[in-house]
Amino acid sequence: MSKVLLINGSPHRHGCTATALEEMIRVFNDVSVETELIHIGGQSIRGCVSCGNCRKTGKCAFDDQVNEVAIKFREADGLVVGSPVYYGSPNGTLLSFLDRLFYSTSFSKHFKVGASVVSCRRGGNTASFDVLNKYFTISSMPVASSTYWNQVHGFSADDVKKDLEGLQTMRNLARNMSFMIRAIIDAKEKYGLPELERGAFTSFSDGKQYV
């Protein structure tokens, strides 16, 4: 059975973002996709300090929920990241979490399916949506889409439940993501995954050191 890992970056376990993710989970359950919802928004998660320890040990030097989720992420077929909008951007705790999760893990994320979901009262949604999708596109992860940008609107969970188009978008996103995961698994068995080149690393340097 395929599995999708969902990350709630909001500090509210039953708030707007969680309501959107739970709408997706209902669809995943209906189509027999296993899910696990993890709440990290209320945790004390520091950012990356560029210590390089993960390149030696294979995990982050700060042994917190990032390392716990990394194990689950490795086994998952898809990842959904949900965040509220704070000052036109995703939750800072979530960004610190994602920076360390993606940087410290050396396992291949090639063709795991990614999707981001944002919730806001009024504005900042598309800017936050763009930030979250970059984690997927730099990791060779196909990004699932829906019938609108993956967002819901409201100041409370009850407001989000009234956002019928937003909830519809979540359901369509879950269906599309489920299809993509199954199609990729099927294609992988038939054809294998595309080759990834890793040799080039251009930093536009002439080889000299400048002070």
pLDDT of residue 77: 98
**What are the residues facing 116 on neighbouring strands?**
81
pLDDT of residue 202: 84
> Residue 207: inside a domain, yes or no?
no
pLDDT of residue 72: 97
pLDDT of residue 208: 61
Neighbouring C-beta atoms of residue 145, cutoff 10 Å: 15
> Residue 68: inside a domain, yes or no?
yes
Residue 157's nearest CA partner among 92, 82, 95, 94 is 82
Walk along the chain (211 residues) and give the pLDDT tens digit of each residue: 899 999 999 999 999 999 999 999 999 999 999 999 999 999 999 999 999 999 999 999 999 999 999 999 999 999 999 999 999 999 999 999 999 999 999 999 999 999 999 999 999 999 999 999 999 999 999 999 999 999 999 999 999 999 999 999 999 999 999 999 999 999 999 999 999 998 888 887 666 655 5
* Pairwise CA distance, residues 169 & 175, whole Å: 10
> Residue 91: inside a domain, yes or no?
yes
State how far the alpha carbon of 97 is from the alpha carbons of 62, 149, 187, in Å: 11, 23, 31
**What is the CATH number for 177?**
3.40.50.360
> Residue 204: inside a domain, yes or no?
no
| Domain of 45, in residue numbers | 3-191
pTM of the entire structure?
A: 0.93
How many structural domains is the chain composed of? 1
> Residue 198: inside a domain, yes or no?
no
> Residue 142: inside a domain, yes or no?
yes
> Residue 24: inside a domain, yes or no?
yes
> Residue 40: inside a domain, yes or no?
yes
